[in-house]
Structures are given as C-alpha cells and as structure tokens.
Amino acid sequence: MKRELTKLYPMVQFKKDTWEIDEFDCASIFLLIGAEKAMVIDCGMGIGDLRGAIEMITDKPLIVVISHGHVDHTGNGRQFDELWIHPADQAAPIPQSLERRRFDTERIAARQKGCIGAPYTMFNLYPYDINVDLRDPEPDEKMPIIHDLNDGQQFDLGGGRIVTAYECPGHSPGEMIFLDEQSRSLFAGDALNFNLGVGSVPLERTLRYMKRMHDLGDKYDGIYNGHHDFRALGMPLDDDCLPTVIELMEEAVAGRYTPCETPSFWGQSIPLTKERVDPMASAPKMYANEEKVRPKRRRVTLRKGRNFLGINPDLIYENDQ
Ligand SMILES: [Zn+2]
C-alpha cells in the first residue's frame, strides 16, 4: 500500500489569515489568505504534500510566488499549476537534484536535531521519512506554467489585500521580497537574515536594494525570512538585522571590511571551529549545468555582533563585472 506523503508540518497562524508553514526546519512557506485568492510564498525543499497541507487550511485559488530559484525554495513547485519567478532565477530545474536535496536536508536535520544525527537517530522528532517524503515529482506533477515576476508587480487577493513584489538581487540575481500592507508584513525570502550570503550581483547594487527595503519600513512591522533558524516560528527577525546588514555592506563598499576568522556556520560542525573545512566538498551537484547558472565565486565572511554577511570580494562595484 502506498503511504500518503506527510502533511504534518509545524505551522502557525501568526497574524489573521497569515500562516507560516515550517518544512521541518528546512525552509518556511508562507500562506496569505485574501477574500478571493490565497498566496503561497515559496515551495521548500520538497518534503511531503505541501499542497495537501495548504488545502486543509484554504480552498481559495492559489497564487504561488517564488522568492528565488534555490534548491530549498522550489522543491515542491511541481505540485502547483502555475509559478511566478523572476526571469533571472528561472534557469534552474524544478525541483533540483533529489540527491542534493537529501544531502542538504540531512545536514539541516543534524544541525537542528531533526530526524537524523546521533543520538537522535533513535527518534523521529519530525513526522517524515527522508526516503519517502523527500522525493522526485510524481508523473502527474507536470511542469507548472512559469510566469515572470517583476519589480513592483501587485497581486490582488481580494478584500483589499494586495501584495507587492519587489526585486532585491544579491543572494540570487532574481531574489524577490513581498510586501503585504494589510498584515504589515514583509516576506524576504533569503534577501535578509542573520547569516546572509550575497554576491550574485555587485555589492553596491545589493546595498541600494537593502536601503529600499529599509525605506519601506513604514509599511511593515515585521520581516519574515524564508527560514526560521534565526527566529522563532511565526516571529519576525529582530529589528537590528537589516540596519546591521546595511552597515556591513556600507563598510565593504567603502573598502573598510575585515574578513571574519570564523567561517559562515552553514554546514559547520557544532560547536563552531576556526578550522577552515569546506563543508560543501562532498555536496552532490544541484543540477547538471549548475556551474553555468551559478558560477563559483570567492567568498569572505564579515561579522558584526550576531550578524554574519558573506560577500564576493571580486564583485563589490558595478564595474567589477
Ligand atoms: Zn537561497
């Protein structure tokens, strides 16, 4: 008998008709329900039956937008009929390699005490089986229609709930953020967090967009990034995150940055060590032509307080290109 895919995601309605669905510490999916339509922001790593879980909450027609084309944000995209993605982030396949998604999921689970990692191997702390629920698409999950998502584009969910998409390139060239003025929330994908990686476009350009995010501040009370490992589920990032990132970027653009001794803690053993190990050395490829779509780049990590910022030192200014 074929087991049903898990729908038991931890989730919280943190504002009226505004949900955060936690894909077992891998990624966050947001659900915004208007009078006529509902918006889904991101599709996670691809664990379980995301659409089924959403349809237990709402039967409104779904508008599915993707903050950026990375492996952990498009994983369950094939469950939906149409997706909105910025043109600069459309080149990667949906979903990306199953092997790589398992690799990333296992590392996150180990770090976050999920279903894998001694002594937690004795317990399934999350209701999924990585060998069943993290999967390749079923034959009936056809490639969705991809629509271009552009700066300033608005989506009317009905009842006065209008969501505006804004470009915010840096983490990826087509990174988008979403402003919902009704719930006074900004959904930032991976454009902002306390361990931010940028460098896909010149840093001075990213800085301009980070300042715009800051200038929009009178329209939102909280910024929700696309993962909840720097904040509790349903809680926004603390208010110091964005100003500190802007400060770090301003220093780098002024040529005054000091690379941090401790490398980024993504994939590092806990506790953090000063050893410069490359945690990604054994990572499977995300997809066949990955190097072409995401060229390898140098990275240095800057730090201020609890903010880490990974930048590309070869791509600070527009004419570095
Ligand atoms: Zn990303």
pLDDT tens track of the chain, all 321 residues? 567 999 999 999 999 999 999 999 899 999 999 999 999 999 999 999 999 999 999 999 999 999 999 999 999 999 999 999 999 999 999 999 999 999 999 877 766 655 555 665 666 778 888 889 999 998 889 999 999 999 999 999 999 999 999 999 999 999 999 999 999 999 999 999 999 999 999 999 999 999 999 999 999 999 999 998 789 999 999 999 999 999 999 999 999 988 886 655 554 544 455 555 666 777 889 988 888 877 788 889 999 999 999 999 999 999 997
How remote is the CA of residue 230 from the centroid of ligand 1, in Å?
15
Look at residue 265 and tell me if it is in a domain: yes
Could you give the maximum distance between any two Cα atoms of the chain, in Å?
A: 62
Look at residue 85 and tell me if it is in a domain: yes
How remote is the CA of residue 15 from the centroid of ligand 1, in Å?
25
Cβ atoms of 62 and 76 within 8 Å: the answer is: no
Residue 130 and residue 8: Cα distance in Å, rounded?
14
How remote is the CA of residue 235 from the centroid of ligand 1, in Å?
20
Q: According to the model, what pLDDT value does residue 271 have?
A: 47
How remote is the CA of residue 189 from the centroid of ligand 1, in Å?
8
How remote is the CA of residue 67 from the centroid of ligand 1, in Å?
9
User: Which residues have CB under 8 Å from 151's CB, separation 6+?
Assistant: 165, 166, 167
Look at residue 186 and tell me if it is in a domain: yes
How remote is the CA of residue 69 from the centroid of ligand 1, in Å?
7
Look at residue 138 and tell me if it is in a domain: yes
Could you write out the DSSP letters of every residue in 98-110?
A: HHHHHHHHHHHHH
Look at residue 1 and tell me if it is in a domain: no
How remote is the CA of residue 150 from the centroid of ligand 1, in Å?
18
How remote is the CA of residue 190 from the centroid of ligand 1, in Å?
5
Query: How far is the CA of 217 from the CAs of 186, 210, 221, 239, 295, in angstroms?
Result: 9, 11, 7, 11, 33
Q: According to the model, what pLDDT value does residue 94 have?
A: 97
3-state secondary structure of 279: coil
Q: According to the model, what pLDDT value does residue 297 have?
A: 85
Task: Quote the tokens at residue 209.
Answer: 């967009």
3-state secondary structure of 287: coil
How remote is the CA of residue 159 from the centroid of ligand 1, in Å?
32
Look at residue 3 and tell me if it is in a domain: no
How remote is the CA of residue 54 from the centroid of ligand 1, in Å?
22
How remote is the CA of residue 71 from the centroid of ligand 1, in Å?
7
The number of beta carbons lying within 10 Å of the beta carbon of residue 214 is 13
How remote is the CA of residue 227 from the centroid of ligand 1, in Å?
10
Look at residue 213 and tell me if it is in a domain: yes
How remote is the CA of residue 221 from the centroid of ligand 1, in Å?
23
Q: According to the model, what pLDDT value does residue 270 have?
A: 45
Domain count, the chain: 1
**DSSP conformational letter for 160:** T
How remote is the CA of residue 318 from the centroid of ligand 1, in Å?
22
Q: Domain of residue 190: give its range.
A: 11-320
How remote is the CA of residue 8 from the centroid of ligand 1, in Å?
24
Look at residue 123 and tell me if it is in a domain: yes
Q: According to the model, what pLDDT value does residue 109 have?
A: 73
CATH, residue 62 = 3.60.15.10
How remote is the CA of residue 72 from the centroid of ligand 1, in Å?
7
